Structure 1
């Protein structure tokens, strides 16, 4: 009986298990069949919208600026050299590196003993030449007087010969007396020739004395110049550099002693490309007197000076490109020759151009315009200048429109965007704060500490907020909503 009862119980349980398994199989079959009978559901695709920064296009008159790098140099630099050799004397205290000297100031003197002796000899020779000239003038006076006396003797001898001829014609005189008179006349005429030769010799002596006097004057001037060359003076006001001598040193002729630099007459030399050079020309082909700004960056402190474009180089130069330009500086305070500076030139004004960020224009010269329904359009533009991080463009029909300020590979024609305008987004409002009761605060803290699925960083941040006297209302609502779930 007992065995029969257990057997029937086992059979009942087996039948119940098989029935449940069959019921479960029917449910699974119905579910699969219902799933297979359903139509496939395709999820609705949502268009992606990109947020982009946009800038308005405004056409105006802009003065472009051209930037280049150049070197400051002095327009007046003079090498001080010794004209004569000798020992340096009377060296000025300012004759040192960086010494400031005035125009005409005596800087140094070469030992003038030899030059002074040569000058004294030249003066003595000049006195001798002057004495010789005076003696020659006196000699020609005497020679002319002797010539006059000889001519008078000739006249007397001619009269005597004439009387003897008259006596002979009247048969009173003799032939011998006539011959004596003729001989005397011939001797007198010979004396005249001798005196004329003496006068010519005296005149030649005067010419030689004048030539000698002129030569001595030239020698005296040369000696004076040699003596003046022993003095080394500043030709203009400036600063000394490259000083290589000290007092007492022996220097040779034409040896370089120092360089004199005018720091008040500076200019900057810089090189630009040929394309930039063409933009600086006027209608006649000459350089415009463009305004120039020179900047020297000294560890964050800028030294600036203003100037004007003055001239250009005559040739390109071997191995060089572009054009070499020069600009004069007005009041170059703080600049020194050799400074490497940044030069900014103001070009001619461009009318009807717009300034856009350089990132708004691609390599093909086009921009993305925000069109209808905030969809992008590709519009070609003409890039005229690049000004640092900006570009100057010219196009038609873009005035007042908005273009994308920063292009990315994800943006293109037809893409829908959300324009972000400068100054259009309002500043975020401060979150609302609430004060919690101790009971409410304890419940929130207990929930956060007991939440095992919350990351430790988030848990620490929430506990720090809950420990404050005032807690953001949004944080409290989010925690209580989870507590209620």
Structure 2
């Protein structure tokens, strides 16, 4: 260190001669301590390994596990070949097959409205709902009837004149014939000298006059016939006018065309209604239908088996009760729904019970399915990979290929070749496979090949799963 001025301290610049002698013993002691610790660690490790091997060598041998085959308890059904049909469930909406808008066919002031004519009320066929003032239309009927009577009277006069003219023509024809006979006789007498030429000329003039009279009568008859035709046309025209006036008079009473439910009312008492003005809307309560959608594949199946007149059952749940109405498929929508690819069907509902429904109600629709002859009905749990099931054959599982024909809820309609006496396994097993030992629930298990008492029985050790004989 440097000397600090004024501090009175002088730093020593020389090292102490005793310092190296002190550091050497300390280094030697640290090395010995490290070697001792390492030796202790190695000794502990060796002792631990020795103890582990000794414990393993002295451990008693584990008992041998008995390789015994496991037998599964299953439920079965007997195969019953019969005709089976599945029901198709869909959801639809009720609509009215017949809805009309009542319009006033005549103009006038509303005199009366039926007290039963209200939105939501039921009206019967023929009920008068609205009365329009009939005064003007009654007068039109009176005038039309007078016109018809006048035309009929004129026709009667023309027909009478026609009949008289026909009688006159008959008389004129007879007079002409007589004059012609006299003329021929005079000409015969003239050749023999018994008559003069003047007589012949006179009689010829008479024939000419009578011919002219006959022609005039016939001309009059044509005129009278035309007059009759005109009067007949006038009667027809007057009759049409009368019918139109009577219809207008009848239309002053607006009646219900069928028994139905009023959905709208657009008229009030003392108001003026114009011709063709809408006064109400009514749908027929006995003509309801339900529209529902099925997939294109289901539609194709139903069409092959007969689509129209196929039975359906419509149900609607209200609280704890379910209302059921029968019906039949009547028609198909003209187009396929582009969004879903489904086909909309329409079923007409039977009138019995249909009064419980209203248009717009959402319902469940159950359609009578296709009938499959000589098929089996099995639960879904019996089917594996949608192409096979298992039967019991000599106490073991045996696979049988199946063809799925249809589905009915949790039941599947299949066709399969199952030998007589074999039973179908309905219990779902994760270890299912060809040759797995099984026993029917409720039936006594036969003693196995090892002579034991079955899994878990007396004398039975741990159980392992085996497949096949001796597995």
Q: TM-score, normalised by structure 1?
A: 0.63
Q: Deviations over 1:131-189 (max 9, x none)?
A: 211221333345456556766776679969988997999799896x9877766765554
- Confirm whether residue 293 of structure 1 aligns to residue 313 of structure 2: yes
Q: Distance in 2 between matches of 1:232 and 1:110?
A: 8
Q: Distance in 2 between matches of 1:171 and 1:401?
A: 135
Residue matched to 2:230: 208
- Confirm whether residue 231 of structure 1 aligns to residue 253 of structure 2: yes
CA pair 161-97 structure 1, distance change in 2 beyond 3 A? same
- What are the equivalent positions in structure 2 for 1:141-152 lying under 5 Å apart? 141-144=163-166, 147=169
Tell me if the contact between 1:377 and 1:412 (Cα under 8 Å) persists in the aligned partners.
Answer: no
Tell me if the contact between 2:311 and 2:367 (Cα under 8 Å) persists in the aligned partners.
Answer: yes
Tell me if the contact between 2:393 and 2:422 (Cα under 8 Å) persists in the aligned partners.
Answer: no
CA pair 167-310 structure 1, distance change in 2 beyond 3 A? same
CA pair 164-29 structure 1, distance change in 2 beyond 3 A? closer
Residue matched to 1:302: 322
Compute the displacement of 1:96 (Å). Answer: 1.3
Residue matched to 1:386: 407
Stretch moving more, 97-106 or 329-338: 329-338
Q: 1:313 aligns with which of 327, 332, 337?
A: 332
- Confirm whether residue 405 of structure 1 aligns to residue 428 of structure 2: yes
Residue matched to 1:86: 108
Q: Give the helix-richer structure, 1 or 2.
A: 1
Q: Distance in 2 between matches of 1:69 and 1:327?
A: 15
CA pair 399-261 structure 1, distance change in 2 beyond 3 A? farther
Tell me if the contact between 1:98 and 1:239 (Cα under 8 Å) persists in the aligned partners.
Answer: yes
- Confirm whether residue 250 of structure 1 aligns to residue 272 of structure 2: yes
Compute the displacement of 1:353 (Å). Answer: 1.7
- What are the equivalent positions in structure 2 for 1:38-187 lying under 5 Å apart? 54-60=74-80, 61=82, 62-144=84-166, 147=169, 186-187=208-209
Q: Distance in 2 between matches of 1:388 and 1:239?
A: 38
CA pair 387-184 structure 1, distance change in 2 beyond 3 A? closer
Tell me if the contact between 1:242 and 1:258 (Cα under 8 Å) persists in the aligned partners.
Answer: yes
Query: Aligned-residue CA RMSD in angstroms?
Result: 5.0
CA pair 281-412 structure 1, distance change in 2 beyond 3 A? same
- What are the equivalent positions in structure 2 for 1:261-280 lying under 5 Å apart? 261-280=283-302
Partner-residue secondary structure (3-state), 1:311: strand
CA pair 263-153 structure 1, distance change in 2 beyond 3 A? closer
Q: Distance in 2 between matches of 1:150 and 1:30?
A: 167
Q: Deviations over 1:237-277 (max 9, x none)?
A: 23222222223333333333323333234343333234334
Tell me if the contact between 1:49 and 1:416 (Cα under 8 Å) persists in the aligned partners.
Answer: no
Tell me if the contact between 2:291 and 2:344 (Cα under 8 Å) persists in the aligned partners.
Answer: no
Q: TM-score, normalised by structure 2?
A: 0.64
Compute the displacement of 1:192 (Å). Answer: 3.9
The count of residues paired between Structure 1 and Structure 2 equals 392
Partner-residue secondary structure (3-state), 1:69: strand
Tell me if the contact between 2:395 and 2:438 (Cα under 8 Å) persists in the aligned partners.
Answer: no
CA pair 226-31 structure 1, distance change in 2 beyond 3 A? closer
Q: 2:244 aligns with which of 208, 218, 222?
A: 222
